[in-house]
Amino acid sequence: MSFFSFGQSAEIDVVLNDAETRKKAEHKTEDGKKDKYFLFYDGETVSGKVNVTLKNPGKRLEHQGIKIEFVGQIELYYDKGNHHEFVSLVKDLARPGEMTQSQTFDFEFTHVEKPYESYTGQNVKLRYFLRATVIRRLNDITKELDIVVHTLSTYPELNSSIKMEVGIEDCLHIEFEYNKSKYHLKDVIVGKIYFLLVRIKIKHMEIDIIKRETTGTGPSVYHENDTIAKYEIMDGAPVRGESIPIRLFLAGYDLTPTMRDINKKFSVRYYLNLVLIDEEERRYFKQQEITLWRKGDVVRKSMSHQAAIASQRFEGSAASESALEKAAKEESG
C-alpha cells in the first residue's frame, strides 16, 4: 500500500504452517460473494510465517519494526470509523533497523481465544484476521489474512417442543407444534398444524424462516428483517380436525447460529413465521423464535477438547462439564 516509494520497497505475505491440512470454510463477503477462508475454532493455535521480500535486491530496507497482529473485531457499517476490537494480540518480529535481504519470520499465537463466530451481515460484520506490518516513517507496508471462526455446540440438554393454540375468536383456531425449540444448522424442523376451527376461506399456508439482525443499543436500536425461506406446506382449504405436517430441511438455507448480544454490539435471531392466506389475500401469521446452533463435524480426538471448551462457553451446563471430562480422558487415555 505504498503510493510513492522512494528507495527500497518490499512485499509482505502471511502463510499458515498448516495451510495444506487445515480445512477451509465458505463465507459471504460484504458484497454478497462467497469466498473460502481457513477455518479455526476457539482455543486453536494460529501459527505461521511472515515473508518479507525485497523488491530491489541489493538495496536496503529501513524500518521502524516488523510485527504481526491477530485481531478479532466488530465493524458497524454506519460507524465505519470505529472498529470494536475484542481480541488483539501482537508479536514483534523484528526490532527497528534495516533489512539487506528478504527474510522469513516465524510466529505463533498459542491457544487463541475466539469467543464469537465470524459474521457478515446487512449492517454489521465480525471478522478475525492476521495483520503483518513493516513499520516505516512515511507509510507502512501491511498485509491482512482473513480467517473464519465457527463456534460449535453440542446437543442441548433441554430442548422442549413448541406447542401453542392460537387464533381469532370465532374465526380461526389452530394448534401448531414444532418438535424442538433448538435446531442445529443441518437439522429438520418436524411439526404439525392442527385446525380446531375454520370459519374463513383459506387458500394456502406457508412457513417462513425470518432472520432478524439487531444492531445498536438503547434508543438507536435497528432491526433488519430478512426472509430467508418461504416454504408452502398446504395448498387448499382445510376443515376442522385436519392435521397438516411440516418437514423443513434447514441444510438447504443460508443460516448462521443464533447470536445473542455479541460483545453488546449486535444480535442475530431466527423466527419461524407461520402464514395462512385466505381467498382475499388476507394474511394471518404467528411468529415464533427458534434457536439455531452449529454442530461440529466428525469430532477428532484433538478437536473434541476444543469443542467441549466451546460448548461450555455456550451452555455452561452440567452436560458440557461432563463432555469436558470425557474429552480430557479420551486425549490422555
In the complex, the residues that contact other proteins under the rule CB under 8 A are 155, 157, 159, 164-172, 174, 177, 179, 186-188, 190-192, 194, 197-201, 237, 239-243, 245, 247, 276, 278-286
**Centroid of chain to Cα 202:** 38
Q: Which is nearer to other proteins, 111 or 282 (CB)?
A: 282
- Shortest separation between residue 287's beta carbon and other proteins, angstroms: 9
For residue 141, give the nearest of 7, 311, 312 by alpha carbon: 7
- Shortest separation between residue 320's beta carbon and other proteins, angstroms: 13
The Cα–Cα gap between 96 and 33 comes to 40
| Adjacency order of strands within the sheet including 172-178 | 162-168, 172-178, 188-198, 243-249
Cβ-contact 41, 149 below 8 angstroms:
yes
- Shortest separation between residue 164's beta carbon and other proteins, angstroms: 8
The residue type found at 280 is E
Q: Which is nearer to other proteins, 197 or 228 (CB)?
A: 197
The Cα–Cα gap between 217 and 202 comes to 40
Q: Which is nearer to other proteins, 39 or 237 (CB)?
A: 237
Q: Which is nearer to other proteins, 113 or 321 (CB)?
A: 321
- Shortest separation between residue 168's beta carbon and other proteins, angstroms: 5
**Centroid of chain to Cα 165:** 34
Q: List CB contacts of 127: < 8 A, sequence separation 6 or more.
A: 72, 73, 75, 118, 120, 146
C-alpha distance from residue 255 to each of 56, 229, 249 (Å): 48, 10, 12
Q: Which is nearer to other proteins, 107 or 293 (CB)?
A: 293
The Cα–Cα gap between 24 and 16 comes to 12
Q: Which is nearer to other proteins, 110 or 159 (CB)?
A: 159
Q: Which is nearer to other proteins, 187 or 213 (CB)?
A: 187
Q: Which is nearer to other proteins, 76 or 276 (CB)?
A: 276
- Shortest separation between residue 249's beta carbon and other proteins, angstroms: 8
Q: List CB contacts of 22: < 8 A, sequence separation 6 or more.
A: 16, 38, 39
- Shortest separation between residue 190's beta carbon and other proteins, angstroms: 6
Cβ-contact 256, 239 below 8 angstroms:
no
| Burial grade of 194 (CB within 10 A; 0-12, 13-18, 19 or more) | middle
- Shortest separation between residue 173's beta carbon and other proteins, angstroms: 9
- Shortest separation between residue 310's beta carbon and other proteins, angstroms: 16
